[in-house]
Amino acid sequence: KQEVTQIPAALSVPEGENLVLNCSFTDSAIYNLQWFRQDPGKGLTSLLLIQSSQREQTSGRLNASLDKSSGRSTLYIAASQPGDSATYLCAVISISNFGNEKLTFGTGTRLTIIP
Amino acid sequence: EAGVAQSPRYKIIEKRQSVAFWCNPISGHATLYWYQQILGQGPKLLIQFQNNGVVDDSQLPKDRFSAERLKGVDSTLKIQPAKLEDSAVYLCASSLEGLAATGELFFGEGSRLTVL
């Protein structure tokens, strides 16, 4: 059974700092990995999608890396801004016991950027 | 392009009552998902539809939860009777193609249920 863990559960950093969020998964047989952002009371917004054959993806100030063999992914946020404050979730796509694609989420890291 | 629509946004009921949530996915998206997100946890898949067929409902508490997607477009999720532990946000999501491909998952804003 795939399990996804995100550490730390919460993180506060001053504005302008670079930061790294961590995601680990137990089963390396994944198709791809997605990072999502969730604002309070809102749904999830996809930030980056990394295919299993890729090692990283970049979008603006965000860079996500994937190391399948070690079961780890990181989300790097450069020059953090107060608007980056949100909960960040990672999710891995693998094949379930029923043969369908299944998305398994981590518990998230709640990020607060201090102005 | 319109996003995934969900209603109602908020619902408060007493235990043993029933509730229904509605979802309209992005036009053309064949796959529809219902997730349950309890406070402080990541979303947990309840049921996945491909068009109007169920692909995975292994984590749906079938004694009290039901879901349908009759015409392969919009979907309803029903809880009857509700328990205190059903208090959560119910998220609907849709995807155009398989997640293992380049498909991404698009979420609605969720329906927050409070059971008293």
Query: For A37-55, how does the pLDDT look when each residue is reduced to its tens digit (9 = 90+)?
Result: 999 888 899 999 998 889 9
Q: Using a CB-CB distance cutoff of 8 angstroms, which residues of chain B are in contact with residue A44?
A: 43, 91, 93, 105, 107
- Can you tell me whether residue B92 is helix, strand or coil? strand
Mean pLDDT of A17-44: 92
Closest CA to B65 of B35, B38, B30, B96: B35
**Chain B residue with minimum CA distance to A96:** B56
Q: Which residue stretches of A1-115 are H helix?
A: none
pLDDT of residue B105: 85
pLDDT of residue B100: 61
pLDDT of residue A62: 97
Peptide bond preceding B25 in cis form (omega within 30 of 0): no
pLDDT of residue A47: 94
pLDDT of residue B72: 82
- What radius of gyration, in Å, describes the C-alpha atoms of chain A? 14
In chain A, pLDDT over 70 holds for what percent of residues? 100
- Can you tell me whether residue B77 is helix, strand or coil? strand
Name the residue facing B99 among A4, A36, A103 (closest C-beta): A103
pLDDT top residue among B104 and A113: A113
Mean pLDDT of B41-55: 91
Of A15-19, A35-39, A91-95, give the lowest mean pLDDT range.
Answer: A91-95
DSSP per residue over B51-73, as a string? Answer: TTEEEE-TTS-TTTEEEE-TTSS
pLDDT at B79 over 80: yes
pLDDT of residue A2: 87
Mean pLDDT of A28-33: 88
- What is the rounded average pLDDT for all residues in chain B? 91
pLDDT at B104 over 70: yes
Q: Using a CB-CB distance cutoff of 8 angstroms, which residues of chain A are in contact with residue B106?
A: 46
pLDDT of residue A83: 96
DSSP per residue over A100-114, as a string? Answer: SEEEEE---EEEEEE
pLDDT at A29 over 80: yes
- Structure tokens, A62: 């965000």
Name the residue facing A101 among B44, B98, B110 (closest C-beta): B98
Q: Do B56 and A108 touch (CB under 8 A)?
A: no
pLDDT at B27 over 70: yes
